[in-house]
Structure 1
């Protein structure tokens, strides 16, 4: 019998499994040591005259969600099969972190090649490139690294977009790993253009010339608008001038020229958001002013105000360098941009003809931004046309808006000429007709003046003199009494318990009581008497009467007031009045006489109301001493 336990069927099976695991590990080690190109796509063949039409592939892309992976992590991810084809038209869409691209380039010539590999867009925050030659099995080495925050002078190739240089020996194939960083949240276009240095330089000069033409056009439009504002003093020209100047700032910054020529040190991505926020803000201010939305489309104007608030929020986020919030805010702004076209069409339907030209202008801008958004989201392939369409559309937007402003100025000038023509025709009217119109107008102005004076002199509720008119007329009567030596008496009248009338029956009933009170007095006095409301439920009556006559009048008025009956929801409302009388004794002014009558009125209130009390100086002195 075989005593070796490992020789049985059961243990032989275990041994075979163990050997199989060793074989698998061995194969894995061999695969790991093989060049990455064994499992990769075919290399891209390049020659001596690359003009940027040839692009690096999108077949091997890996999304590093955290954005912290280094070269070693990228190689491990490649071995694990995490590099996959990009399932879009060329963009990753709005994603956090970083993306890695793997591709290989093969020199098909017998001479060494120097290539410039250019990133196709302007929105990238940072780029790192690593390469190795496949033939000698060397390890990867870093051949390029750049960031928006680095000084522009640190770039190996001076270009407004990221470009790194690659040297290829004759017939050699180099494998590359490129990391595209977009900070917290952004859009990445992993494919890059392949150039020979001379072709890239020539294309860069042409591109710079075209953009200089656009920027020059913006500048001229801004200057012309500024001159128009100075000559016509129209605020719309100043706003347009600022808006046009902001276009230079935003596109110069977004396309990389600000970093290349102006802020070459300490540049930050937030400058692009800041410039965009300023342009959006200027555009919205101009749109509201040109379309006059506050006056003619108030409801839609609330949405424009929300857009203004969002632009200010974007401005703050850019200043505080809040990446995610900046992206969200600018996305909201772009989504709401087509609303301005709708507002313009509404104004056109209201009869504002220039609005349809403005709608065309803004539509051009919106179309350019939509194309850019579709490209950024990966629905449209990135190419030369849709890359430059937004700034070009923005340029034609400004030209069309200038045409709309010209139409507006032409309309205003036409209205002015029509007004001048009408005025000239009016001057040619016959003298008799003109005099008749003048006389009619004079009468109308006189009537209007009298009505205005009457309204200024009377209390609007009761129709009698107000406080100001009472004092003016009373002072005049007092001066006359002083010169002519005729008697005067001043009555202060106050409705008893007027507050309770308001509280129990409402202010409308209180107003009704005041009108009935005033009417009862006004119908029982003479035209030479001065009657006015001097405050609340207090009234004053200046009579050209001796003492007894004034007392009789006061008694008659008190009874008349007590007979007033008002219809209310419940029982009929009656009320009484207290009256204080002061007699003229060569007082200096109406204020002194009014004070004496007011003291007498106060005594009437204290004595039980619904009564008449004459002012007595002795009583006032005695009362003052008693109170002390």
Structure 2
């Protein structure tokens, strides 16, 4: 029998004991002061934590529990409001006293969402009657069976004016679970008002999650980035998990045949989606391979949670979800590491994950009975989750901005590289063009020039001579062709060698070039024969030929043994109107033959006899 309330007044114990025996009221009933209610209750008053008892096997009947209560087996709940993860059922006893002169209608609200079944029993205080069954609320029952439409269990009670009524509540979680025996006391109007604000706030959060999911999906379609798709799915999973955990899925969607494992299933899916998104966003596989193994371990734990939920292994599901919550601090660490590696958006991700992590860790400690259950830590996880998603969206924006900047930098570098390459290519093209032009000029020169003497070769001489003849004909000028042949050139080669013969040819050419005009056409026709086309009549052409013959006779070459001298025979052909270079060559060649026939070192005209000089 509990006597805690009487221990402070020891002298009155005998008198009160006799009075209690006279009234035939169990001593335990007087041990706990009833909770005074006056019709203004707004959820601030709590009940059910001072007198609790644990039934590990969930096998005791109501009568046995009442007998245990009267025998003093009930006691204060250890911890900060939660029983912790325990098997079986918990019983809680409390009393309400109506302090008004009017009947009261009250709603007793279970404070959490994880309870499977709640059974309520009541009796009026001051009577020796048994507890009568008030109602049983079960998550397995259709939602319409609940007397009050609310996402959490609500037990409506009626109190007569001035009445004190005792209640015995049974909380069941099947195999194992967390129980919060303290329940909030409301008036129906205050409960409805609070529930309206609560539902509107949650609807706002869900709308935000949905918009973030849609925006990310559009971003994924536009960019093809896996990050956007992963974030979109992650945002949708947030709606699913919080709607299910907070009871709205049972209230609005799956009103019949709802099962507790749906909460674990949605939680496992959300955790997996979050880890997959984090792994993609932070690129842990590439940049933090060791920490990536921890992330994979967390994903494996989430997979076990999903398996436990699908197979209805509640203990496995509860253990894995608690472990998942306790492992959440790993992700901010990964974010900090990536930030140290240079990822600016990773620090924002670490902040976002920390907000959610703190809420979920507090929830885990609350479930384990280390932190007191209150409105803030109850709604911290969903609101922290919403804040997390907003912050992550900001992190994605930072990442997109960084990638855009990197893209611009890369494009600028690529553009500069292209410009440099273009300039280098143009320089190479220009250099190659100059080389080709020089090579072309060289080739043309080689094609037009005799390689030994440097003057025109036969082809170039003929081509230039044809042009010169046409110009002379248009200008009605007279042209003459002088054909030279070095006398006894073969004997020079035979006596002094071909090198000296080549030197004789070069000296001959230089001598002629030094005595003629730039407009005159001079070239080597072959061997020791040369041609000179000048714009002169027959008389002046002969004078020119004689002058050149004299200069040739003055050439002196040192052979190393003696001085080499040589002469040249010259044939002249004067051009008639309409004549061609071939005709002039023929006539000059005949004149040259005449000059050589006359003893060499002579000048002969095609129309005149060869004369001696």
Q: How far apart in 1 are the matches of 2:228 and 2:188?
A: 45
Quick check: 2:28–2:72 contact (8 Å CA) kept in 1? Answer: no
Corresponding residue number in structure 1 for 2:355: 364
Which residue of the partner structure matches residue 508 of structure 2?
none
For the pair 1:274 / 2:265, whether they are aligned, the reply is yes
SS of 1:185's equivalent in the other structure is strand
Choose from 359, 364, 381 the match for 1:373: 364
Distance in 1 (CA, whole Å) between partners of 2:363 and 2:23 is: 42
User: Out of 84, 87, 104, which is 2:78 matched to?
Assistant: 87
> What are the equivalent positions in structure 2 for 1:555-566 lying under 5 Å apart?
none
How far the C-alpha of 1:313 sits from its partner, in A, is 1.3
Contact residue 144 and residue 165 of structure 1 kept, 8 A: no
Instruction: Give how far 1:50 is off.
Output: 1.0
Shift of 1:73: 1.7
Shift of 1:107: 0.5
2: CA distance, partners of 1:437 / 1:184: 83
Contact 1:143 1:165 in 2 (8 A): no
From 202, 206, 224, the counterpart of 1:211: 202
Q: CA deviation at 1:432?
A: 4.7
- 2:471: which partner in 1? none
**Structure 1 partner of 2:388:** 397
Question: Is this contact kept in 2: 1:65–1:96, CA < 8 A?
Answer: yes
Q: What is the correspondence of 1:73-84 to structure 2 with a 5 Å cutoff?
A: 73-84=64-75
Residue 194 in structure 1 maps to residue 185 in structure 2 = yes
Q: Distance in 1 between matches of 2:220 and 2:421?
A: 41
Which residue does the alignment assign to 2:229? Answer: 238
Q: Structure 1 residues 81 and 435 mapped into 2: Cα distance closer, same or farther (>3 Å)?
A: same
Q: Quick one: distance in 2 between partners of 1:217 and 1:341?
A: 23
After superposition, residues 94-133 of structure 1 pair within 5 angstroms as: 94-133=85-124
Q: Which residue of 2 aligns with 1:346?
A: 337
Of 418-427 and 359-368, the range deviating more from structure 2: 418-427
Give the superposition deviation at 1:412.
0.9
Task: Assess, with a 3 A threshold, how the Cα gap between structure 1 residues 244 and 431 changes in structure 2: closer, same or farther.
Answer: closer
Q: Give the unaligned 5+ runs of structure 2.
A: 1-17, 432-613
Q: How many angstroms does 1:57 deviate by? A: 4.1
Structure-2-length-normalised TM-score: 0.65
CA contact (8 A) 1:94 1:185 kept: yes
Give me the whole-angstrom Cα distance separating, in 2, the residues matched to 1:424 and 1:345.
35
Question: Residue 342 of structure 1: SS of its match in structure 2?
Answer: helix
Alpha-carbon distance between aligned partners in 2 of 1:438 and 1:127, rounded to the nearest angstrom:
90
- CA distance in 1 between counterparts of 2:21 and 2:89 reads 30
Paired residues for 1:120-519 under 5 Å: 120-429=111-420, 432-435=423-426
For residues 527-569 of structure 1, the C-alpha deviation after alignment (integer angstroms, 9 at most, x for no partner) is xxxxxxxxxxxxxxxxxxxxxxxxxxxxxxxxxxxxxxxxxxx
1:47 maps to 38
Corresponding residue SS for 2:274: helix
| Counterparts of 2:262 and 2:23, CA distance in 1 | 44
Q: Distance in 2 between matches of 1:176 and 1:431?
A: 91
CA distance in 2, matches of 1:181, 1:56: 17
8 Å contact kept, 2:175–2:315: yes
Measure the CA separation in 2 of the matches of 1:349 and 1:104.
59
> Deviation string for 1:322-342 (max 9, x for gaps)?
011111111221121111111
Deviation at 1:350, TM superposition (A): 1.2
Q: Is the 8 A contact 1:90 1:378 kept in 2?
A: yes
Separation (CA, whole Å) in 1 of partners of 2:277 and 2:306:
18
Moved over 6 A (4+): 29-32, 437-440
Partner-residue secondary structure (3-state), 2:175: coil
Q: In 2 relative to 1, CA 149–111 (structure 1 residues): closer, same or farther, beyond 3 Å?
A: same
Tell me the SS of whatever aligns to 2:32: coil
Number of residue equivalences: 413
Q: In structure 2, do the counterparts of structure 1 residues 412 and 31 end up closer, same or farther at CA, with 3 Å as the change threshold?
A: farther
Q: How far is 1:303 from its partner?
A: 1.5
Alpha carbon RMSD of aligned pairs, Å? 2.1
